[in-house]
A and B are shown apart, each in its own frame.
Chain A
Amino acid sequence: MMTDDLAALRQEAEAALAGAQDLRALDAVRVAVLGKSGSLSGLLKGLGAVPADQRKERGAALNRLKGEVEALLETRKAALEAAALEARLKAERLDVSLPPRPFAPGTAAEGGIHPISRTIEELTAIFGSMGFRVVEGPDIEGDWYNFGALNIPDHHPARQDHDTFYMPGTDAAGQRLVLRTQTSPLQIRTMLGEQPPIRIIAPGRTYRADHDATHSPMFHQVEGLVIDRGITLGHLKGCLTDFLRAFFGISDLPVRFRSSYFPFTEPSMEVDIGWNKKTGELGGGGDWLEILGSGMVHPKVLANCGLDPREWQGFAFGMGIERITMLKHGMPDLRPFYESDLRWLRHWAADPLAPASLHEGI
């Protein structure tokens, strides 16, 4: 039940709010009604003088009214703010047809190339000199490209290791969509898209649901694929040894190949390089560091792409771009790669005026 005086007070407040044309006026209304000596606050203070039998009801009515006024205030405030923003947006006009200033706000000395971009440039230069082309593909990939075609069926234990991110829906061919967990789908896309001989690398973003000091949910891999007649495991060893020595700039870098297993290659091997575990220095030191996985392309993968394994064979490899970047430069931590901390970027950035080229040295 609202008594007459309260109804009047409410009407008054409503009128005052409607009349407030800016935030300052609105605040004045708030103070006048709800402030220390505001009209509603006065009534609340006066509760003590109300006869005890009416006090409870009166108090409840007052509090209800207080809540209503506060809500009205908020609504009006939002409306005024929206109006103020609209007015501001209208008033703030810039003739965007003006020609930009002739000089950029910064110079090449201040800007820089991210170490991941730089490494991809270097990979491109080195593999390019061996006759490789760069290919790219989508981050959101059909699961046949990411798994099935690569001889990783649904039940394969390797799937569990991949910590796949799933997207809703399917692609046009009805394939389940995932964020690619590896750049290997580019092997498939390339073999389906062109006839051998093939020499490609595919650097790009990859995703796995794994996040800790040494894993990021997004990272980069580079895939490599060579398909031809008469390509042997000896070529795999030669090609990767040539690459690793050129990339790390150590002409006698020890490189070791160990038998391993990947579903999409056979024989498969892990590749280690020599380093010193204690100092982190690459080259000598007598310790081995696993750096990439590789192998001869599995006949099933060839056949899945319509290539006859009796005619064509070759090798494939994949490595982590962050990993080789960290090793090359002695960078201790993975996470800052994606944080865009200005200080880190400035420290590790490469000069935009000196792109990676073999004739200038990598």
Chain B
Amino acid sequence: MKFPLSWLREHLETDATLETISTTLSAIGIEVEGIEDKAAALGSFRIARVIEAVRHPNADRLRQLRVDVGDGRELSVVCGAPNARTGMKGVLAVPGDFIPGTGITLKLGEIRGVKSEAMMLSSREMGLGDDHSGIVDLPEDAPVGASYVKWAGLDDPVIEIKVTPNRGDALSVRGIARDLAAAGLGTLKPWEVAPVTPAYPAPLQWRIADPRACTWVLGRAVRGVKNGPSPQWLQDRLVAIGLRPISALVDITNYFTFAVGRPLHVFDVSKVAGTELTMRMARAGEELLALNGKTYALTEEDGVIADANGAEALGGIIGGEHSGCDEATTECFIECALFDPVRIALSGRRHDVRTDARSRFERGIDPALLPKALEAATRMIQELCGGEASEISEAGAQPAWQREATLRFARVRDLGGLDLPEDEIVGRLTRLGFAVTRREADRVTVAVPSWRNDIAGAGALAQDPSLPADRARIAAEGCAEIEPECDLVEEVLRLGGLDAVPAVSLPVTSAVPRPALSAKQVRAALARRVLASRGMQDCVTYGFLDRATAALFGPAAEQPGTWSPPDALHLENPIASDLDQMRPTPVASLAMAAARNAARGFADVALGEIGGAYRDPAAGVSQLAVAAGVRAGQTTANWAAPARPVDALDAKGDALAVLGALGVPMAAVMLTTDAPGFYHPGRSGVLRQGPKTVLATFGELHPQVVKALGLAGPVVAFEVFLDAIAEPKRRKKGLPDLPAFQPLKRDFAFVVDASVPAEQLLRAARNADKTLVSEVTLFDRYAGERMAEGKISLAIQATLQPRERTLTDAEIEAVTAKIVAAVAKATGAVLRG
């Protein structure tokens, strides 16, 4: 909300500066979003008279002016404005002045050989409008030498504030003045309104057909009005706060909305059908053509104001086009009503209408203000439009808003952290309009003023239905007791500013803090570091992507694109069609990121993410924690090793590195080849712990997925399911194996069917003699032309570790024979000749 300082001063007697007002507002919870101070921006510009305007000697389109500045000086000004003429008055800037419209500071100049010592300004150059057709042309009586902003009445700063949703009362100039006065910045001026004497019976009667639509309403007609443009002061005020002046009657309603936070509406009596205005709920199928030109299809949950023809206004939100006042109106009827904040909020949101009336009614307005506001509005209408007032028509009754709240003085210290004298506490509350009804030694009970519906107000709890009944009841009782007190503590604190509360560091709970992370959280952090240490860039990508891409990344071993992402993970209101489905795996997001990088010329990437893979919430768990990675393109060449394309074993290496770092017993990890369908079926695998628990998947991406994402390949990926990893058992390590005898190594080359997994052969060799064989590694794999069709060569090195004594040749022979035999038995391999 915006308001000019002069308007505030109408309600607040103060000698505080603009700066003090602004800092105080922010300190007491009314955030100042900006201050527009034209006096500061344009203060140096003065009114000047053109003594003579002649053609520039060297330029047809320019004029050379002699200008009277008002202090006896005459300045030479070169000017391009077509309207510059002898005798005119305008606005002058001199060197050193900042020109807001152009953003430059004026300097002494010379234009085509003629000195230019100043500048005559257009509206746009002053930032006052779009007019740049010529320089400002002031009336003959403008005083030469005077400050322009002062003379034009523009020296009124406009303050823009942000009002929090609880403070309906602060959405008015008077409400702000009241808070500032309470904060010690002056006194609130009285606002007295003498009732108008009615001259005739009200031509329209109110009827409340449904109390949901309205609880209390007053109205009164004024006949014989002349509804022209409103006076300049009122128009200026509305323009200053960003409203468009329409006509006196409409402007008056807007004025009350902002002056005292009391939205009003005026009907044109001649346009109302019948003699009754009814507050009722809308009927199914009913429509309203509103003042904003839009037609709203109303629902049975919307409260309306209706005449004999139907809905004429969406009560408390927006008036109707049909019955509104215009220039031809001679008799108007003022509506001054009270609406249910919840209904207004829901109706307003349902129809997406944002009006000044709605924002006040949904926060709640002062329920006691209606009669006074109606009288004041009547007077203003009579002053500006003439006419005589009718009797007041009324329906419903003022609701019982009166309530009390109690504050134990100690709570200001025990909750608010501030030691305040008791009298100061009471003083702050009374300055805010709370009336002391009872003061005891340790507490004060106050009556809450009518305009503060946020204090000790109603408002239901939303307790967890699964709470034990006893616990829920006790908590609810506690809340009813404590909440009004909290409201008051907040009022007391904010009025003095929170800077007054001393900061106290949190007490230490244990001298050495316990770990902040759970074992599972440590796993995620460790996984991230392991991936980064393997050259991957840790990424953060969106949890949602487009449904078509999601369909490529189904979690089961189906063909890519044949999987249908769960409807339960399809956003109802996506912000864009390419962000409409929760992703089945972070691999999808990372593969898309790889494609974006490739499009920028960076095809070789290694991207990792620790993030969510989303599942149908109906299944119980909607989100799995996944460590995922994608590698694309080639490895980096260096002097010692050439570049090579990344392959599935790189992804396997990443997955195993994560699993190893997280304490998964590696000997127990099993490999199967039933990876999800987004992987290449012949170049992918699943790492499991036991037959059921899937720890990780890895592989090259399916050629169709690569193609669909616009990647060139090769692209490999992996996902490690962090939730599947059991917490490693915390036991002390056994002692290390430190045999006294030197190990020896033996190499073997086997010829084996190409279809035999290397792991099978290695395992057989390892298990050939568990005492002596301590390690087996694969050091060569050959699948070239020299091999028979369908055969490959696998060369392994076995480490033999003697335990009790050095091995004899015969013992070595025996163990090597055992290895060859075991490998042959397990894989059909034969030693290479």
Interface residues of A (CB under 8 A from B): 85, 88-90, 92-101, 104-108, 110-114, 116-117, 121, 124-125, 127-134, 136, 138-140, 144, 148-149, 151, 153-160, 165-169, 171-173, 177, 179, 192, 197, 199, 201, 205, 207, 209-211, 217-218, 220, 226, 230, 232-239, 241-242, 256-261, 263, 266-270, 296, 298-300, 302-311, 313, 337-343, 345-346, 349, 352-353, 355
Q: Within residues 530 to 575 of chain B, which ones have a CB less than 8 A from any CB in chain A?
A: 531-544, 567-575
| B interface SS class | mixed
Chain B residues whose CB sits within 8 angstroms of the CB of A130 once the complex forms: 506, 513
Q: Cβ of B505 < 8 Å from any Cβ of A? A: yes
Cα A109 to Cα B500 with chains together (Å) = 49
State whether A96 and B482 are in contact (beta carbons under 8 Å apart), knowing that A112-B532, A138-B623 are contacts in the complex.
no
**Contact at B758–A266, with CB atoms within 8 Å?**
no
10 A-B pairs closest in CB distance: A106-B535, A234-B417, A100-B653, A128-B516, A259-B29, A261-B164, A97-B759, A352-B532, A340-B593, A97-B757
For B414, list chain A residues within 8 Å (CB).
230, 232
The size class of the interface chain B forms with chain A is 35 or more
Tell me the smallest distance from the CB of A329 to a CB of chain B, in Å: 15
A260 vs chain B, min Cβ distance (A): 6
Whether the Cβ atoms of A233 and B493 lie closer than 8 Å is yes
Assuming the contacts A299-B482, A309-B479, asked whether A234 and B620 have C-beta atoms less than 8 A apart, the reply is no
9 A-B pairs whose Cβ atoms sit less than 8 Å apart in the complex: A105-B650, A128-B516, A129-B513, A156-B345, A157-B165, A157-B363, A165-B574, A234-B502, A352-B538
Asked if A261 contacts B493 (CB within 8 A), the reply is no
Q: Which residue of B lies closest to A269 (CB)?
A: B498
**B346: nearest chain-A partner, CB-CB:** A155
**Cβ–Cβ < 8 Å partners of B513 in chain A:** 128-131
Given the complex, which residues of A lie within 8 Å of B636, measured CB to CB? 106, 110
Q: B29 and A306: CB pair below 8 A?
A: no
User: Complex Cα distance A233/B600, Å?
Assistant: 51
Whether, in the assembled complex, B76 has its beta carbon less than 8 Å from a beta carbon of chain A, the answer is no
Q: Is the CB of B683 within 8 A of A117?
A: no
Cross-chain contact A160 with B349 (CB below 8 angstroms): yes
Select from chain B the residue with minimum beta-carbon distance to A94: B683
Q: Is the CB of B607 within 8 A of A340?
A: yes
Q: Is there contact, CB below 8 Å, between A226 and B498?
A: no
Whether B165 pairs with A158 at a CB distance below 8 angstroms is yes
Q: How far is the CB of B795 from chain A (nearest CB, A)?
A: 13
Q: Is there an interface contact between A239 and B505, defined as CB atoms closer than 8 Å?
A: yes
Distance to closest chain A CB from B353 (angstroms) = 12
A343 touching B646, Cβ below 8 Å: no
Bound CA–CA A313/B413 (angstroms)? 13
**Complex formed: what's the CA distance from A158 to B682 in Å?**
53
Please name all residues of chain B whose beta carbon is closer than 8 Å to the beta carbon of A160 when the two chains form the complex.
349
* Chain A residues with CB below 8 A from B431, complex form: none
Beta-carbon contact of A96 and B493 below 8 Å: no
Chain B 479-508 against A: per-residue CB contact (8 Å), 1 yes, 0 no? 101110011011001100111011111111
Do A267 and B493 form a contact, CB below 8 Å, given A156-B165, A165-B574, A310-B481?
Answer: yes
A89 touches B682 (CB 8 A): yes
> Is the Cβ of A355 less than 8 Å from the Cβ of B699?
no
Interchain CB contact under 8 A, B602 and A342: yes
Given known contacts A110-B636, A156-B345, what 12 new A-B pairs fall within 8 Å (CB)? A114-B539, A121-B525, A130-B506, A133-B516, A165-B572, A209-B575, A232-B414, A232-B504, A296-B415, A300-B459, A300-B461, A340-B590
Q: Check if A114 sits within 8 Å of B538, measured CB to CB.
A: yes
Interface of A (DSSP majority class): mixed
**How far is the CB of A90 from the nearest CB of chain B, in Å?**
7
B535 touches A110 (CB 8 A): yes
| Alpha-carbon gap, A88 to B489, bound state (A) | 75
Whether a CB of chain A sits under 8 angstroms from the CB of B315 is: no
Task: Assess whether A258 is in contact with B31, with CB atoms less than 8 Å apart.
Answer: yes
A343 B472 Cβ-Cβ under 8 A: no
Provide the residues of chain B in CB contact with A136, threshold 8 Å: 521
Establish whether residues A261 and B165, one from each chain, have CB atoms under 8 Å apart when the complex forms: yes
A116's nearest neighbour on chain B, judged by CB, is B540
B703's partner among A88, A100, A155 (CB-CB below 8 A) is A88
Residues 177-197 of B, flagged 1 when their CB comes within 8 A of A and 0 if not, give: 000000000000000000000
B526 — nearest CB in chain A belongs to which residue? A355
Per the bound structure, the CA–CA distance linking A109 and B698 in Å amounts to 24
Greatest chain A CB density within 10 A among B165, B568, B623, B758 is at B165
CB within 8 A of A259: which of B466, B494, B649?
B494
Closest CB in chain A relative to B550 CB, distance in Å:
14
Interface residues of B in 699-753 (CB under 8 A from A): 699-700, 703-704
Give the Cβ gap from A284 to chain B, nearest Cβ, in Å. Answer: 18
Is A341 a contact partner of B515 (Cβ separation < 8 A)? no
A121 to B685, CA, bound (A): 33
Give chain B nearest CB distance to A61 CB in angstroms: 38
Known: A157-B363, A338-B542, A343-B602. A352 touches B489 (CB 8 A): no
User: Contacts A165-B571, A169-B617; is A85 near B704 (CB within 8 Å)?
Assistant: yes
Determine if B568 and A340 form an interchain contact, defined as CB atoms under 8 angstroms apart.
no
In the complex where A139-B543, A342-B597 touch, is A97 in contact with B671 (Cβ < 8 A)?
yes
Question: Which B residues lie within 8 Å of A349 (CB)?
Answer: 532, 537-538
Is B309 part of the binding interface, using a Cβ–Cβ cutoff of 8 Å? no
What A residues does B346 contact at CB under 8 A? 154-155
A234 touches B538 (CB 8 A): no
Point out which of B414, B475, B501, B680 has the most chain A C-beta atoms below 10 A from its C-beta: B475
Chain B: minimal CB distance from A125 (Å): 8
Cα-based distance from A154 to B462 in the complex (angstroms): 11
Known contacts A124-B516, A140-B614, A211-B575; A113/B528 CB under 8 A: yes
- Residues in A neighbouring B569, C-beta threshold 8 A: 140, 167
- Which B residues touch A89, using CB under 8 A? 680-682, 703
- Our pick among B516, B540, B683 for the contact of A92 (Cβ within 8 Å) is B683
Q: Are A266 and B778 also in contact (CB < 8 A) when A154-B346, A209-B573, A309-B482 are?
A: no
Q: Is B543 touching A304 in the complex (CB atoms < 8 A)?
A: no
Contact B345 A261 (CB under 8 A): no
Cα separation A158 to B538 with both chains bound (whole Å): 35
Residue of A140, A158, A313 near B622 (CB, 8 A) is A140
Are the C-beta atoms of A90 and B682 separated by less than 8 Å? yes
A126 to B779, CA, bound (A): 48
Q: Which A residues lie within 8 Å of B582 (CB)?
A: 139-140, 167
- Judge whether B475 and A309 touch: CB under 8 Å: yes
Q: Report the nearest B residue to A114, measured CB to CB.
A: B538
CA distance A131 to B510 in the complex (A): 7
Q: How far is B538's CA from A110's CA once the two chains are assembled, in angstroms?
A: 11
Contacts of B567 in A (CB 8 A): 168
Contact (A303, B475) CB under 8 Å given A111-B531, A310-B481: yes
In contact, B342 and A155 (Cβ under 8 angstroms):
yes
Residue from the list A230, A259, A304, A352 in contact with B498, Cβ < 8 A = A259
CB–CB B416/A233 < 8 A: yes
Q: Are B490 and A259 in contact (CB under 8 A)?
A: yes
Expressed in whole angstroms, the Cα–Cα distance for A299 and B483 within the complex equals 6
Q: How far is B521's CA from A268's CA once the two chains are assembled, in angstroms? A: 31
Q: Find the A residue at minimum CB distance from B572.
A: A166
- Are A93 and B486 in contact, with the CB atoms below 8 A? no
Minimum CB–CB distance for B153 against chain A, Å = 31
B517 / chain A contacts, CB cutoff of 8 Å: 124, 128, 133-134
Please name the residue on chain B nearest to A307 by beta carbon. Answer: B475
Greatest chain B CB density within 10 A among A105, A130, A156, A218 is at A105
* Given contacts A111-B537, A116-B540, A134-B517, A96 and B461 within 8 Å (CB-CB): no
B464 within 8 A of A: yes
What residue of chain A has the Cβ atom nearest to residue B621's Cβ? Answer: A138
The answer to whether the Cβ of B476 comes within 8 Å of any Cβ in the partner chain is yes
Q: Chain A: which residue is nearest B362 at the CB level?
A: A157
Q: Which residues of B lie under 8 Å from residue A132 when comparing CB positions? A: 516
With A90-B682, A230-B414, A258-B26 as known contacts, state yes or no: A149 contacts B462, CB within 8 Å. yes
With A113-B538, A218-B543: A199-B597 Cβ-Cβ less than 8 Å: no
- Min Cβ gap A39→B in Å is 34
Given contacts A111-B531, A239-B506, A300-B459, contact A104 B657 (CB under 8 A): yes
